[in-house]
Structure 1
Amino acid sequence: MSASTGRPLPSKVTRTRLYEQVAEQITAWAAEAGLRVGDRLPPERELAVQLGVSRATLSQALVALEVVGVVAVRHGDGTVLVRPTTASISQAIREHADRLPDIHETRDALETKLAALAAQRRTDEDLAAIEAALDAMAADIEAGGRGVEGDEQFHAAVTAASHSALLARLMLEIGPLVRESRLESLAQPERPRASLAGHRRIAEAIAAGDPVAAARAMHDHIDMVSDVALIRDDA
């Protein structure tokens, strides 16, 4: 309360970061240019020059737009519009940031248990599916991609190997939120290779039939991938 008027003081001013401003500019330009779903944005180098920003700032903006579901950044195909929007991108980014701690806690609770159960219940077919996911992620990373699809495939294979229908249903429920955090995590420098290494440790524990080691490896992996820089206040 203000001592002089008795009225509530104004709320804290939210600082809009440069990449958020760039993300807003990109969506405004896409609307003005009449871009439709499936249309590609100009190449990153060209966009950066047009907007007068560094490639690093532009990349942050594109990741933010991908996280909130406006674009898809496809290796070898550029950046594609998947959902035009007139809503505040900055607000969407901050709502995403607010969800991250809950996503981390929920993933840790569910996926550490899933990994432990997978170590106890996996079949030869389950192990083959896990290895196929690792191979797919590794191949995409080697080709210059981020390994997003292979990452999703790996976690789905571990979930399937748990043979727990209810836990699998819960994972399906939080799937869109997990994808938000996955996209952001795998956009961090060197994160795809670190994530792949974490996956391999989980897979080794599951193959060895060691539920304690599998749960620990999954917990460590989720802790690592939940450390994202894009939405920090000092980013």
Structure 2
Amino acid sequence: MLQKTNRLTLVEQVALQMERQIESGKWAVGTRIPAEPELMVELNVSRNTLREAIRALVHAGLLKTKQGDGTYVCSSSVLGVVLHKRIMRSDTMQTLEVRHALEREGAHLAAQRRTDDEARELLLQLERWEAAAARGDMDGIVTEDIRLHQGIIAASHNEILIELYNHIADASQDTIISLTRYEIGASFKEMHRHLVEAIVDQDAERAVAAVHRHIAESKAVFEVKGDEQP
């Protein structure tokens, strides 16, 4: 028999308000949240209620308390925490396949929805990636590659897709770094240019084809290198 839903408790309401501060970016990852007295006044709650809400967010993985120093934001959303834990238990190839599936749909949507400003920024980001590759700057290649793919996903204008991709990319960064260090040959450079140019030209089929090629070549690299770390 279905039961009536209960209203949120005061602790749950406070925790939800604090969670919204984190998800909105007002309390960024790595920053310390306001001190207890300030939050008690702002939220109009008792110290005990506030501490219970903080404990709930610590348990959820959004906050981390450092003795004698304060409480810090350690994740931007509950979804990020859950995905990170799940990916840590997953096979590397499966994680790679999921990331590429998101990239494929992201490229398809970006080709349809990108703005003129986003098209210009993608071309500039591609140039930064190519410049890092030409210099043989491995750290730069990794950084610019991640930014390029995040820019493509952002141009999809699908908020859920963007959030999923960013969390999965963060959680699987070691794998991304390891693969990217090997993905600097001529074929990968050509693939990146084809992908960006297809999105700029608003050719969704070409964009998807470029991602398919990337997926195939990344899998080939993985099969040879396995879980080798950079």
Per the normalisation by structure 1, the TM-score is: 0.53
Preserved CA contact (<8 Å) 1:195 1:225: no
1:214 is matched with 207
2:177 is matched with 183
Query: Could you tell me which of 140, 161, 166 is aligned with 2:132?
Result: 140
2:113 is matched with 121
Q: Residues 219 and 177 of structure 1: is their aligned pair in 2 closer, same or farther, counting only changes over 3 Å?
A: farther
1:199 is matched with 192
Does 1:230 find its partner at 2:222? no
Q: Residues 120 and 185 of structure 1: is their aligned pair in 2 closer, same or farther, counting only changes over 3 Å?
A: same
Q: Secondary structure at the match of 1:133?
A: helix
Deviation readout 1:136-190 (Å, 9 max, x if unpaired): 11111122213111101110110111111110011022012442222111222x6
Identity of aligned residues (%): 28
Per the normalisation by structure 2, the TM-score is: 0.54
Which one has the bigger helix percentage?
A: 2
Preserved CA contact (<8 Å) 1:186 1:192: no
How far apart in 1 are the matches of 2:151 and 2:189?
A: 14
Query: Could you tell me which of 140, 144, 148 is aligned with 1:150?
Result: 144
How far apart in 2 are the matches of 1:197 and 1:177?
A: 27
**Number of residue pairs the alignment of both structures matches:** 138
1:68 is matched with none
What is the aligned-residue RMSD (CA, Å)?
A: 2.4
Preserved CA contact (<8 Å) 1:122 1:162: yes
Preserved CA contact (<8 Å) 2:102 2:165: yes
Preserved CA contact (<8 Å) 1:103 1:177: no
Structure-to-structure mapping, 1:52-67, within 5 angstroms: none
Amino acid at match of 2:92: L
Q: Secondary structure at the match of 1:217?
A: helix
How far apart in 2 are the matches of 1:148 and 1:127?
A: 21
Preserved CA contact (<8 Å) 2:110 2:155: yes
Q: Secondary structure at the match of 1:191?
A: coil
Q: How big is the shift at 1:232?
A: 6.8
How far apart in 2 are the matches of 1:199 and 1:207?
A: 12
How far apart in 2 are the matches of 1:97 and 1:224?
A: 25
How far apart in 2 are the matches of 1:214 and 1:231?
A: 27
Q: Residues 225 and 191 of structure 1: is their aligned pair in 2 closer, same or farther, counting only changes over 3 Å?
A: farther
Structure-to-structure mapping, 1:22-101, within 5 angstroms: 99-101=91-93
How far apart in 1 are the matches of 2:123 and 2:190?
A: 13
How far apart in 2 are the matches of 1:105 and 1:183?
A: 16
Extract unaligned runs of 5+ from structure 1: 1-94
Q: Secondary structure at the match of 2:213?
A: helix
Q: How big is the shift at 1:96?
A: 7.7
